[in-house]
Structure 1
C-alpha cells in the first residue's frame, strides 16, 4: 500500500511537458519562414512605399498626382479593373455551376476532374498565351477551320476580347478548386426539409444556398480579382504590351529602354495595393454581416 501511494505521488509530482514547453521549439522552426517572408515580401513592400513618397527634396505626393492627372494611366487602371472584374465574375459563375455539378458526380470521376483541374491551374503565363495563339490566333487551328469550312472570321485574339477569354480560362481552375469544398458542404437534408415545408426552388436558393455559400463566393471573387489584377506574363506574351494594362505599365517603367522611372512604378504599385486593400476590407465587412445574419 505504501509503495502504491509513493508511486502515485511520484507520478503526480513529475514535471509535465505540454504545449508551453514545445512552443519555443516551434517558434525556432518558424524563423526560416519569417526570414523568407521578410526578405521577399516585407522588404520589397517597404522599398516600394519609400520610393513612392520620397524624393531628393523630401516627402512628396507629386507622383500620385501625376498618375491621377494622366489620361494614359487612368486608362490603364480602367482597363485593368474592367478586365479583372469581368473575368472574375465570369469565372465565378462558370466555376459555381461546375462545382455544383461536381458534387453529384461519382467519387472516381470526381477525383479525376479535381486532379485535372489542379494540373491545369499550373498552366499560365507564356505557355498559356502560346497555346491560345496556336489555337485561336490569326493563323490558329480553330481560326483556319472556321475560315475554310464556314467562311467566318473569329474575334481578334490580340484585343481586349481575346485577353478577356484568356483571363477567364486561367481563372476557372482556381475558382473551381476554391468553390468545390463549399458546395460539397451543402447538406441535401437542408433542401429536402425546406421542400417538405413548402419552399420553392427559388426560396431554397435565396434563403439556404446563397447565405451558406456567400462567404466562399465573396472570398473566391476577391482572390480571382487579385489574381487578374496582378497577371502580367500572359497579357504581355499575347499582346506584346500593346494593350494599356496596369501591370504592363509598371513593368515598362521598371525595365523600359527609353524612359525608366522606378519611382513612378512604385507609386503605381501603391495605388494597386490600395485598390486591393479596399476590396479585401469590403469583403471582410460583408462576411461579418453574413455571419451575423446567419447566427
Structure 2
C-alpha cells in the first residue's frame, strides 16, 4: 500500500511541470481575459458595457458571423476530402503510407504568413499562375479574388485537410477486414458496406475531428492577417486590433471578444461531444 502511494506521488511529481505550464500559459491568461472583459474602458469600473457594445454593433456581429461561417465551411470541406484521402492511404503499402503521412504532417504545419505569401505569389493579382493563364488566353482566374471570402476558404482548407487526414487515418484501421468479408458474403456491395457499416463506425471520429478543425480555423490569425489584413472582418483580426493597435486600443473590448471566441469554440466542441455520444449509443 505504501509502495502504491509512493508511486502515485512520483507520477504526480512528473506531471507537476505540465500542470504549471497549463496553469501559467492557458488557465492564467484565460482567467485574466474573462476578468478584463467585465471592466469598463477606464479599467476600474465593473460593468457589462463591453458585451453590450458587441451585441449592439453590426460590425462586431459581422466579424463573429464571418468567422463562424468560414470555420464551418473550411471544416466541412476538409473533413469530406480527408475521408476520401485517408481511405486511399490505406490501399498503399505500409512504407508508402508512412511517407504519405510524413508529407501530410509537413503540409499541416505549413500555415500562417509563409502559406499566405505562397498563395499571393501563385494566385494573387500578379501571381505566377494568374499571369501565366492570362498569357495563354485562359480566363481561369478572371472572376477569382484571392483577397476575399473564397480566397480565405481556399487557404484555410490547405492546412486543414492534412490535419484532418492525420487525425482520421487511424480510425480506418478500426474497420475490420472480417466485417467487409461478412458483408460481401451476405450480398452487400462496397457502397452498401460503407453506407451502413463503414461510415457509421467512422462518424464519432469524424464528429470529433470536425470540432478540432472548427476550433483551429476560428482561432487562426496569422494566415488571415497576412492574406487580407484589415480588408475582411474576422473575429481574430478584430481582437488583435483592439489589444495591440495604437489607434483603436481597447483591451477590455478585445477581452470580451476573446471570451466570445472561446465560448464559440467550447460550444462547438460540446455540441460535437453530444453528437459523438448519441452516435455511439445508436451503434450499440
Q: How far is the alpha carbon of 1:58 from its aligned partner?
A: 4.6
- Unaligned runs of at least 5 residues, structure 1: 1-15
Counting only pairs closer than 5 Å after superposition, residues 145-164 of structure 1 correspond to structure 2 as: 145-152=132-139, 154=141, 155-164=144-153
Instruction: Provide the residue aligned with 1:89 in structure 2.
Output: 76
Instruction: Provide the residue aligned with 1:29 in structure 2.
Output: 14
Q: How far is the alpha carbon of 1:17 from its aligned partner?
A: 7.3
Instruction: Provide the residue aligned with 2:229 in structure 1.
Output: 240
Q: Which TM-score applies when normalising by structure 2?
A: 0.94
Alpha-carbon separation, structure 1, partners of 2:126 and 2:44: 54
Work out which of the two has the higher radius of gyration on C-alpha atoms and give 1 or 2: 1
Q: Given the alignment of the two structures, is residue 182 of structure 1 paired with residue 171 of structure 2, yes or no?
A: yes
Q: Given the alignment of the two structures, is residue 226 of structure 1 paired with residue 211 of structure 2, yes or no?
A: no
**Equivalenced residues, count:** 280
Counting only pairs closer than 5 Å after superposition, residues 161-172 of structure 1 correspond to structure 2 as: 161-172=150-161
Instruction: Provide the residue aligned with 1:74 in structure 2.
Output: 61
SS in 2 for 1:265: helix
Instruction: Provide the residue aligned with 1:121 in structure 2.
Output: 108
Q: Which TM-score applies when normalising by structure 1?
A: 0.90
Alpha-carbon separation, structure 2, partners of 1:120 and 1:153: 25
Contact 1:88 1:225 in 2 (8 A): yes
Q: 1:202 to 1:18 in 2, by over 3 A?
A: farther
SS in 1 for 2:273: helix
Instruction: Provide the residue aligned with 1:44 in structure 2.
Output: 29
| RMSD (Å) for aligned C-alpha atoms | 1.6
User: Which among 264, 270, 280 is matched to residue 253 of structure 2?
Assistant: 264
Instruction: Provide the residue aligned with 1:9 in structure 2.
Output: none
Alpha-carbon separation, structure 1, partners of 2:238 and 2:170: 37
User: After superposition, what is the alpha-carbon deviation per residue over 1:152-177, rounded to whole angstroms, capped at 9, x for unaligned?
Assistant: 15111111111110000010110000
User: After superposition, what is the alpha-carbon deviation per residue over 1:40-82, rounded to whole angstroms, capped at 9, x for unaligned?
Assistant: 1111001111011234665422211210111101111111111
User: After superposition, what is the alpha-carbon deviation per residue over 1:15-53, rounded to whole angstroms, capped at 9, x for unaligned?
Assistant: x87543211111112111111111111110011110112
Contact 1:235 1:241 in 2 (8 A): no
- Unaligned runs of at least 5 residues, structure 2: none
Instruction: Provide the residue aligned with 2:264 in structure 1.
Output: 275
